[in-house]
Structure 1
Amino acid sequence: MTQRIVLPRLGTGTAWRDSARVCLAMNLHPNDVRWSDTAEDSSLFDAAPDAPPAVHDQAKVPKAFVSLAQSVVWHTDADRFDRLYAALYRIRSTPTLIRDRADPAIAQLRKMEKAVHRCQHKMKAFVRFREIGDPTAPRRSFAAWFEPTHNTMEPTADFFAKRFADMDWRIVTPSVSAIFEGGKLCFALDLPRPDFPEDANEKLWTTYFCNIFNPARLKVNAMTSEMPKKYWKNLPEAASIPHLIAGAPARARAMADAAPTLPPVRTARVQRAAADFDTAWKGPGDALGAALSACTRCPLHATATQAVAGCGPDTARLMIVGEQPGDQEDLTGRPFSGPAGKVLDGAFAQAGVDREGVYLTNAVKHFKHVVRGKRRIHQSPDRTEIEHCRFWLDAEIRRIQPKIIVAMGATAAMALTGDRRDILKRRGHLETGLCGRPVLITVHPSHILRTPDKAKQNELRKMLVGDLSGAHAISLTETAV
């Protein structure tokens, strides 16, 4: 004889789960159980349910099935409970069946689960409240009418309770209605549709909806898929949708005609290419420091503490260009403030050059290094980094307009002349730089510090002093070199 189980319309999920446990404990085959949520739905061969046995050893099923069942029980398919119990009966002995998407029964349950989730999403999106209580009351009161495709009011009510916890509300559906009053949620069956008063806010909402409607992006099929027409009758803005759709082509053409004229694609490419050939920053001189601080033209900015700009008077006739900031310069933000700077200061003193009258800078503005333990070890800039930073060096040269530039070391020589080779052979000689100004190449003070042989150090120091003295003399002349 078929065992008949009638589930309540409220608390259906919990009731089905408890009843299914009892049926499994009784080892009832799916063919011997007939499920229903309507007491009048009976059959000639139905029998009154037996008294449920005490369930001591509950059957263990995968969590995936529990999650699936918690959604499918709210579907409107009359056979949903039978389908779930049939699957549960099989999964009890074959737990991996829940992952078999090719199994027809599991595939159908997944399809029903998806439909319930979609219905819950539509409820969250398309419920429209109207105020039914006194607006001046401590807790304002609202009501809404909604017609869901499935029995999703009960499992979705917690969403509204959390979102609208500071007001009283009720969402009435043709079957189950949710009522939230005084912070407590309850449910009722078969309530009539509320008699809603006029709501002035609906006009404001409809005006907003019409103004954000973009006719150029209208896709009717996609819109009706996301906002099915069955919901339109309960949406205040829906009355405007047919008019908006009908007028979309004309509005889109008007928007296109009113749009600003854009340059041809080819022109944009030419403009971008031309910008790449800019050799110097072209902003006002007093804004150069701020612009350099924001530089991201090469990856060095990511690891350095700061960009180190040049310093010295704008009227300097002698410019000294080194390689890049060192560890101390990276921290202080001033060029030649570390050990190499002390060597340069000594050379200035011997050459009779006043440091305060010289413009000091570097070919590369960020400190390139590698971290080893607690130390930051200097690394020489490569060609790409030098070329990127020439953008700033050329801007400094244009602003200062020095009489002569001293390039100390291979990196500076590369930035100013395009050639970093044979520094010792070229030192002491004037060359014409890429900027069109005379460039005198000499050794870098850090090269002197790295030379272990004392005699060689003294020789290099004399070279530096002699080159600085000669450059200083040229900077004082009034005739062109």
Structure 2
Amino acid sequence: MTGQSALGLQHVRLGTYYVVPLAASDDFEEWRDHARRLLMADVPPDRVAWTEPGGSAGDLFSHGDRRLPVPGKDAQPPRVSKRFMEIARTVLLNSDPARFSLLYRVLWRLQAQNGSIGPRLIEDAADPDVRAMADMAREVRRDIHKMRAFVRFRVVEEEDGSEHYVAWFEPFHHILRHNAGFFTRRFANMRWSILTPRGSLHWDGETLREGPPATRADAPGGDPAEDLWRSYYASIFNPARLKIGAMLKEMPRKYWKNMPEAQLIPELIAGAQAREAAMVAKGALDMGERPQTLAAIDKAIHACARCPIGELHNTAVMGEGPQDAAQGFSGLMIVGEQPGDQEDLQGRPFVGPAGQLLDVHLAQAGIDRGAAYVTNAVKHFKYVQRGKRRLHQNPSAKEIDVCRWWVESERMIVRPRLVLAMGASAARGLLGRTVSISKVRGEPIPLEDGSELWVTSHPSYLLRLDGAGREEQERLFARDLAAVAARLAQLA
């Protein structure tokens, strides 16, 4: 029985199954060579079983042929995109036994020419196979990061008096070899061993050797240096910044037993609320008297480090507006989320892409930006460094609440008749609670000082959209600004 294949060759006999035993669980080149040969011999995915050391082909393939087929002389080599190769190398390190079949199935489908099934398949994030690959790759990358972050060496004194550092780690996936280069570069001058249930690495300062799997009993216990490390960790632990959920997500309990400082975590968590209450009682978190001028606020926010954002390498960005704003100009106050990269560099609010889009819509609505006081709910740029780039991160609710002091101080001095909050963060900074933009937009919210709050989306949100979604959200944004302009005219 024959049929046309993805490569244009003839299918193998329907009853022929192939079992492909792999010599290593993490050898991408070995898998690639076998997959290439199977593709060129036109063997479909449902006729192949991949086995790794210690694995089984299952009952269906128990009598399969372990001799790989020989491709025909006219067989064409498979077409493989660079994107597929990059993802596949990472996916192969996953511990899921189905990864080999998944990769071969996607590779087979990439050879087709009909519609989205073909060379463009790897770009289809909605495809179940492509999504499964992405999930597996994400798990591997996370495990790689965890190993680099949570390996802890303990010193062992050898018979000759030299020091040897030994660490125990339990990876979820086959990442040991992949991480070898990182540790040889990071600890090039140390003699060390990393022991895991999947294998071991040994570095003598010049040569890296691989060893067999180990057990926890093979690793040493504590050493005197760990007392110093625990003392340091306890001294820098800040209860005011404790987020248990985020901490457990980043450092799951699985890793605690191998980290000396982790032994203190339960005790530090238990006492965190009491310590924070004591700090408040002593006035350590008191913001002091409110500044009485915009210039005083400007000076104060540059010295503010009451939340983690203020400790980043950034510069506080003060609000700006017409000269009469400092005397209470009774006009419009526009509040955004936080400064962006360009705002941080230039020291002015809304001068980047979001600010440019805002200017366009303000002009279309007939609102003079120069006549409005423009500021942000959070005064510093929150970001994460990726190489030379600084990528925006949303401020947390607690960070917004800390910075609310400054926004309230600005509003008390400026005394606007109408406040426009752009985005949920800005709304929280003015209301002290989170609201749904879709539920409150387009209607005034009375504030305690008699002014009105109007809420709309943030221009940066519009910039992240495209197509029909962008058009609809820009329409709503323009409608909100038109309503604000009309209300300002009524209040004039």
Q: Could you say which TM-score interval applies, normalised by the shorter chain?
A: 0.5 to 0.7
**Match for residue 152 of structure 1?**
175
Cα pair 1:168 1:180 within 8 Å, conserved: yes
Cα pair 2:38 2:69 within 8 Å, conserved: no
Post-superposition offset of 1:195: 3.8
Cα pair 1:210 1:240 within 8 Å, conserved: yes
**Match for residue 290 of structure 2?**
265
In structure 2, distance between residues paired with 1:268 and 1:238: 46
Instruction: Check if 1:41 corresponds to 2:56.
Output: yes
Post-superposition offset of 1:191: 2.5
**Match for residue 254 of structure 2?**
230
Note the residue ranges of structure 1 that are not aligned, 5 or more in a row.
276-481
In structure 2, distance between residues paired with 1:53 and 1:186: 37
In structure 1, distance between residues paired with 2:27 and 2:219: 29
2:95 aligned to 76, 92, 103, which one? 76
Identity %: 37
**Match for residue 129 of structure 1?**
153
In structure 2, distance between residues paired with 1:2 and 1:155: 32
Cα pair 2:40 2:77 within 8 Å, conserved: yes
Amino acid at match of 1:5: V
**Match for residue 193 of structure 2?**
170
Aligned residues: 274
> Whose Rg is larger?
1
In structure 2, distance between residues paired with 1:259 and 1:24: 71
Note the residue ranges of structure 2 that are not aligned, 5 or more in a row.
1-15, 113-117, 301-492
Cα pair 2:167 2:219 within 8 Å, conserved: no
Cα pair 2:41 2:69 within 8 Å, conserved: no
1:253 aligned to 259, 265, 277, which one? 277
Post-superposition offset of 1:52: 5.4
Post-superposition offset of 1:234: 1.0
Deviation string for 1:245-273 (max 9, x for gaps)?
Answer: 00000111122233455433253658569
Distance 1:268 1:236, change over 3 A: farther
In structure 2, distance between residues paired with 1:160 and 1:273: 46
Post-superposition offset of 1:198: 3.6
**Match for residue 106 of structure 2?**
87
Cα pair 1:6 1:39 within 8 Å, conserved: no
Amino acid at match of 1:267: Q
Deviation string for 1:203-223 (max 9, x for gaps)?
Answer: 111111111111001111000
Cα pair 2:195 2:219 within 8 Å, conserved: no
RMSD of the alignment, in Å?
Answer: 2.7
Instruction: Please show how residues 402-441 of structure 1 align to structure 2 within 5 Å.
Output: none
Post-superposition offset of 1:183: 1.7
TM-score after normalising by structure 1: 0.53
Cα pair 1:179 1:185 within 8 Å, conserved: yes
Cα pair 2:19 2:64 within 8 Å, conserved: yes
**Match for residue 67 of structure 1?**
86
Post-superposition offset of 1:99: 0.4
Instruction: Please show how residues 183-262 of structure 1 align to structure 2 within 5 Å.
Output: 183-193=206-216, 194-259=218-283, 262=287
In structure 1, distance between residues paired with 2:178 and 2:193: 15
In structure 1, distance between residues paired with 2:70 and 2:54: 19
Q: Secondary structure at the match of 1:125?
A: helix
Deviation string for 1:59-107 (max 9, x for gaps)?
Answer: 2311111011111111111111000100011112311100000101100
In structure 2, distance between residues paired with 1:89 and 1:158: 32
Distance 1:197 1:7, change over 3 A: same
In structure 1, distance between residues paired with 2:214 and 2:295: 69
Amino acid at match of 2:63: F
**Match for residue 104 of structure 1?**
128
Cα pair 2:229 2:261 within 8 Å, conserved: yes
Deviation string for 1:391-445 (max 9, x for gaps)?
Answer: xxxxxxxxxxxxxxxxxxxxxxxxxxxxxxxxxxxxxxxxxxxxxxxxxxxxxxx
Cα pair 2:153 2:167 within 8 Å, conserved: yes
Cα pair 1:132 1:141 within 8 Å, conserved: yes
